[in-house]
Structures are given as structure tokens and as C-alpha cells.
Amino acid sequence: MSQTLSETNFQLPGQTRFYRGKVRDVYYLEQQIVMVTTDRISAFDVILPQPIPYKGQVLNQVAFDFLVTTSDIVPNWVISMPDPNVMIGFNCEPFPIEMVIRGYLAGHAWREYRDGKRSICGVPLPEGLRENDRLPEPVITPATKSQQGHDEDISREEIIRQGLASEEEYRQLESYTRQLYEQGSRHAKDRGLILVDTKYEFGKFDEQIHLIDEVHTPDSSRYFYAEGYEERQEKGETQKQLSKEFVRQWLISEGFQGQEGQQIPEMTEEVVERISARYIELYEKLINRSFIRDKTDNILQRVERNIMSTL
């Protein structure tokens, strides 16, 4: 198997602090950040024990591609991509919320609906929906951005009340979110996919709102194959997905949903390779070009060298 990038521990010139997230290692400089997308994989807010070959490269390159193509909607944080696993950009002050938008009743929203809830984040949902049904119109269901543990649903009113964003800022975040989702949905349709739901994160740099983090990647978004969607819905069959949901479903089938006392199932070499292949498949389907596997021997040295040559 290929070498993987499980973590980094660089000391970069001008570095002021370091943050290790579930998937990304972030190096803060005075005005910039260096974001290294590792091969770590998380589900149910738990980092799984085995990294996935090429996953970081897929996420980083998909995110970069979509950040470039959405820059006409909203400014974003990225300056350059010096390595397949790295982006360098502006050091934005993030809003501590995720702007989740859903066009279909799937994943977390479906599980809440199935358990009897008819309102998510203060947004009412109609009766009689089935899993994966298209919603009458896309709904925004924000979540708090937790440094540790589970993100929590939160309403628009509570965001403003807690001062997580002003009313004016939140209106702008909602507007950007809907525009980004519309563009992402059009792109997905052109590629024979349905953008089911996704999340966006925003921050401020020089008092201006910027799009930050990743965009329309398999970690932040859920995609269905468009071909056969209606037929599968009519028959009550499982939708064919191209997203990280298949990882969650595998974990659920093995009795793990991130709850206290539950044991993470063994990730065999076969499971790891299957997940890697699905990420590469999503890259090629979304970006419409063949995935080039960058050299993974001495991957740490390669990443550090490319960062240092840019700073």
C-alpha cells in the first residue's frame, strides 16, 4: 500500500501557533495560514484509526478547484496550492458555525425526521417525506463548529442571540450559502450527480467575509448519482451515493455511531483500499479529469519542501 500522511509536525518560519483538526493540520503565520490536508478520516466526529491513501490529495485538490470556480460569488481564503496536500491562504477569523444546506432529506436530517422531529434548526419540514426525498426547497440548518466532540444544530435566532454572527452578517452568510449551493448543484448536474447537501464555513479578513476551509468535497458534501434516482425512490431502494456517507453506513453496519462505549470496527487493508478507491472515483467524477497519484515515498519531506519553497 502507498504511504499515507497521517500527521505533520513542522516548524515553519513566522509560525505563531498550530492547530490539529480531525483531518487538517493548520499552521498559523502572521497574515497567512498553511493548511495541510492529511489522509486522516473521521466519521461521527471520531477520527478513525487508519488513514486513507490519497484521501488528503483528493480533498485538497477538489476544494482548490471549487474555491477557484466560486470566487465570483464570494471572496475566499486561498492564495496558492504549493503541494497536492497543501493550500496557503489568508488568516481569516472564522465564524464558529457551519452553514449546512440541504436539498434532500438524507443523513442526519433524515435520522432526526425518522425519529419524529418535524423541525430542524427552527426550520419546519412537511409530513409524509421519505428518506432521500427532494425537499420543496433547499433549507439551511446551521451547526455550531465544535473544536472537540459533536457539532450541534442551532437556529438562526440562536446564532444571532449568542452573537456568533450579527443579523446583517447572518443574512449575508445565508445569501452566499444559497448561491454556492445553486452553483454546486448545477455543476453536479452537469456531471450526472445530485448535490444532496453540503456545508460551508466563513471567516473575516480585513473586515470582509471570506469563504474558508473546503468546498463541495466528499467530506463536506453528499452526492447521489442522478441516473436512476427517481426509479430508486419509487421502489424505496437505497440511493447510489458518491460521498463519505458510505463510510458512515459501513460503521453503522458494524455497530458504531460514535457513541460512548462503542468500539471502532477493524479497518482491514481491503476496507482502506475500498475507501481510497471511492475517494478517487469521486474526484474523477466531479473534476472530470484523471486523478494523478503524486509520489508518496517520503511524503512528509515532499510536503515540507514544497511549503518552504513558497514561504
Residue ranges of the domains in the chain? 17-93+259-310, 95-246
How far apart CA 63 and CA 10 sit, in angstroms, is 23
How far apart CA 216 and CA 62 sit, in angstroms, is 7
Q: How far is CA 110 from the centre of its chain?
A: 19
Q: Which of 186, 219, 171, 168 is nearest to 103 (CA)?
A: 186
pLDDT at 146: 64
pLDDT at 249: 85
pLDDT at 148: 53
Global pTM value: 0.87
How far apart CA 193 and CA 90 sit, in angstroms, is 32
On whether the CB atoms of residues 71 and 19 are closer than 8 A, the answer is no
Q: What is the pLDDT of residues 57-92, one digit of tens each?
A: 999 999 999 999 999 999 999 999 999 999 999 999
Q: What is the CATH number of domain 17-93+259-310?
A: 3.30.200.20
Which triple of cell numbers denotes residue 14?
A: 513566522
Task: Count CB neighbours of 156 within 10 A.
Answer: 19
Q: What is the mean pLDDT of the chain?
A: 93
Residue type, 137: E
pLDDT beneath 70: ranges in the chain: 1-2, 146-150
pLDDT at 1: 53
Quick one: fold of 95-246? D-amino Acid Aminotransferase; Chain A, domain 1 (3.30.470)
> Which residue bears the cell 445553486?
182
